[in-house]
Amino acid sequence: MSARRGDGIVGDVGGALEVALCETAGMPDTFAARFESARAKRGPLVWGLDPSGGLLEQWGLGDTADGLDRFVDTVLPAAADAVGLVKPQSAFYERHGWRGVRTLTRLVAEARNAGLLVIMDAKRGDIGSTNDAYGDAYLGPGAPLAADALTVTPYLGLGAMGSLVRRADQAGSCLFVVVRSSNPEGRAVQSALDPSGHSVEEVLLGQIGDLNRQLRPAGIGPVGAVVAPLETQPRLELTAARALFLAPGVGAQGATLEDVANVFASCPDRVLPSVSRVLLAAGPDPARLRDAADTAAAEARRLLRA
């Protein structure tokens, strides 16, 4: 379905289109192209690098900034040997204050230097100059936490994200917009209906498709979607969005890679399944971490025909 302007739920995307289309020449290679390359080499699996306080204690590192540094030193080489993408949840680093942010900055730089694509799971999203600042922080040359992609929440209106869309497009990055989340509490909001009977998640996905068709008429656009691999109604029209899909909730939250294959059967080459806790549970031994990630990555390649 195509997006409807001024629908009263997620807002008008016209502003986002106008801002994003103002400069299109000289774009760098796209996140979609880099993901295609990473998928061919290592498969589509995304390893969530989420060092909760409990995990740091379980690993014997201590729930401290020093323990967080040692976590990165341990997990990053294992990830570089096993997968093509990592996804740090920024909150687990921010909770350690400025030293945690410093560690996150180091993780992003070292991961990208090792050839990994980095999805910053920060779920930002606001309006105006605040979105400008988020773009300055996370996307493109000069950003101190320059990731390949950023998760965002759209509930101030997708149309309010024009500057972030532009920044992602110009930087060859991707914005993953939360459309259907893996937590049950999200269903009340995401399945709410507008006056025409369409759900918030359907409208959002239609608006994402409109943006991507305008920005990348011949391929996959810079605006992706976070879509949990849930067998729930309505089934979303995924292929029309011209988007990549980040699929959270695999492992500890109950979804399986088989669920991912079923839900994204119409576009298996566009889905990025994310696994975190079940892989990190194999630590802190580096060999066991690599083995766990290798096994999950091989299963993802098999099921998603990578």
Angle between helix axes 97-113 and 65-82 (nearest 10 degrees) is 20
Interacting residues of 201 by C-beta distance below 8 A, sequence separation 6+: 179, 180, 190, 191, 236
Closest listed residue to residue 247, CA positions, set 180, 164, 152, 157:
180
List 95, 99, 112, 123, catalytic entry? 123
Q: Any idea what DSSP says for residue 228?
A: -
Judge whether 123 counts as a catalytic residue. Answer: yes
Residue 200 CB neighbours (<10 A): 21
Phi, psi of 278 (to 5 degrees): -70, -25
DSSP label of 222: S
| Two structure tokens written together for 95 | 């909770």
DSSP-derived secondary structure letter, 140: S
How far is CA 241 from each of CA 3, 175, 231, rounded to the nearest angstrom? 10, 13, 19
Q: How far apart are CA 83 and CA 45, in angstroms?
A: 6
Nearest to 224 by CA among 266, 169, 184: 169
* Residue 221: closest CA among 151, 270, 162: 270
Q: Report the b/e string of 40-54 with b at 16+ CB within 10 A.
A: eebbbbbbbbbbbee
Q: If you ran DSSP here, which 8-state letter would residue 48 be given?
A: E
- Show which residues are catalytic: 123
